[in-house]
């Protein structure tokens, strides 16, 4: 299958679109936030994905999120909060996966007019994954979940955060990772 890489320097043709264009809206959002260039999505010609070595029902799954832990000292982080850069985190963190944490997404640029983030399961499906384990669809969950920061730096993500998450998952003997990014 041949794919073409997007041309980030030209204006996209939206005349035929009938759906909400997330890419166009995100580019505009980042420019409005004061960044001097539009957001550029990472793209790779070679994907580091591999086939499962055993069925999902026998695998250990690790959940990766971009959600931040709630900190009341960092301003409004509720479901209707405006973008809150102060709530960002800048290092990978982990927490036990046996209980639901208080995670928020006010630090992330997303379409606040159309997204529903008042339900933790919409962006952090730990409870649904626990139900899938109980139903036998997933073998087990990793003893902890993993959180990766959203720093708008592909270099930091590729060279620092992703290798750290990989090391943690290997230590936890994770077979398959589920990334739920907002």
Residue-wise pLDDT for 125-160, tens only, equals: 999 999 999 999 999 999 999 999 987 778 888 899
Whole-number pLDDT of residue 17: 53
Higher pLDDT, 76 or 17: 76
d(CA 77, CA 72): 8
pLDDT at 9 over 60: no
Q: Where are the domains of the chain?
A: 56-180
Higher pLDDT, 12 or 118: 118
pLDDT, mean over the chain: 84
Residue 16: band (very low, low, confident or very high) from pLDDT cuts 50, 70, 90: low
Q: Closest by alpha carbon to 85, among 146, 34, 26?
A: 34
Residue-wise pLDDT for 35-46, tens only, equals: 777 777 777 677
Q: In this structure, are residues 64 and 177 in contact, taking their beta carbons and an 8 Å threshold?
A: yes
Neighbours of 123 (CB within 10 A): 20
Whole-number pLDDT of residue 49: 72
pTM score over 0.85: no
């Amino acid at each position: 299958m041949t794919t073409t890489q997007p041309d980030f320097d030209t204006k996209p043709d939206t005349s035929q679109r009938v759906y909400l264009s997330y890419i166009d809206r995100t580019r505009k959002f980042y420019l409005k936030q004061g960044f001097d260039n539009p957001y550029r999505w990472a793209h790779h010609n070679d994907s580091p994905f591999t086939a499962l070595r055993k069925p999902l029902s026998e695998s250990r799954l690790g959940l990766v999120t971009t959600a931040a832990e709630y900190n009341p000292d960092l301003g409004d982080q509720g479901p209707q909060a405006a973008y809150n850069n102060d709530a960002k985190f800048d290092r990978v963190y982990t927490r036990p996966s046996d209980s639901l944490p208080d995670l928020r997404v006010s630090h992330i640029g997303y379409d606040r007019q159309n997204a529903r983030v008042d339900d933790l399961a919409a962006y952090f499906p730990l409870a649904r994954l626990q139900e899938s384990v109980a139903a036998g669809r997933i073998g087990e969950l990793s003893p902890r979940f993993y959180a990766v920061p959203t720093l708008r730096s592909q270099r930091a993500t590729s060279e620092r955060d992703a290798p750290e998450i990989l090391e943690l998952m290997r230590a936890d003997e994770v077979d398959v990772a589920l990334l739920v990014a907002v």
